[in-house]
Every structure is written in C-alpha cells, then in structure tokens.
Amino acid sequence: MPSRNDSRNDTAVPCPACGQLFTRTGRRRWCSDACRQAAWRRRQPRTPADFGPERPGRDATVYECPGCGERYLGQQRCEECGTFCRRIGPGGACPHCDEPVAVADLAGALSPAPGRQAGGQS
C-alpha cells in the first residue's frame, strides 16, 4: 500500500492530460483544475441531445421592440427607444418591401382560419 504521507513526496510526475511535470500533493492526479476538467470532458460521451436545439444565427433572426413595435433583422436593440427587443424567430428581409419578416408570420398566413378547413369548405 503506498504511503499517503505528503511531506515525503517530492518527486515530479507528468500530468496525464498535458504532460507537464508537477509535484503531487495528497491524492492529486492532475497539475491543475483545467487539466482535470479537460480529462473529465474527454471521458464523457457527447450525444446530439447534449447540444440542444439548433437555432439560426443572430443575423437570420427577427426581433421586435416591445415598446414601439418596430422589427429588426439581426439587431437586438431598438434604434428608436433604445430598449432591448424580443426574439420573434428565424426570418429574413421581404423581397418586395425589404421589411423583416419572420417564418412564423409566413406560416401563420398559410394556415386556415379557425373553424375552416383547408380547401375552402366549412
């Protein structure tokens, strides 16, 4: 059984993560907390569920000012009010009027009105 006496342990050992020589203190295996954390991350399997849902970049996101209702594409702060806007969702500029349009707005315009079936019959 190895001795746990810290006062007699003066030999330098390489860190298993980075290879840097360090003097062990107690039961320490890593030269730093960063190496310990990096080693733990390498041992853990990463699955696509760990990454969360993919969101479009900020440049492709439509934001709306809660105060004045102005919409912006990729800009999170209102130029008029100076307040932060709320995220509407992915979108882009309208090809006709160049105003920001969210995909949710387009999907809402394509869905039938409540109480009506798609096909025009009620």
Residues of the chain with pLDDT below 70 are 1-9, 48-57, 109-122
Q: Return d(Cα 32, Cα 38) in angstroms, integer.
A: 10
Q: Residue 6: its pLDDT value, please?
A: 54
Q: 39 near 52, Cβ under 8 Å?
A: no
65: containing domain: 58-110
Structural domain includes residue 15? yes
Structural domain includes residue 1? no
Count of the separate structural domains present in the chain? 2
Structural domain includes residue 3? no
Q: Same domain for 29 and 63? A: no
Q: Same domain for 62 and 31? A: no
Region of residue 95 (left: phi > 0; alpha: psi -120 to 50; beta: else): alpha
- Here the tokens at position 106 are 């387009």
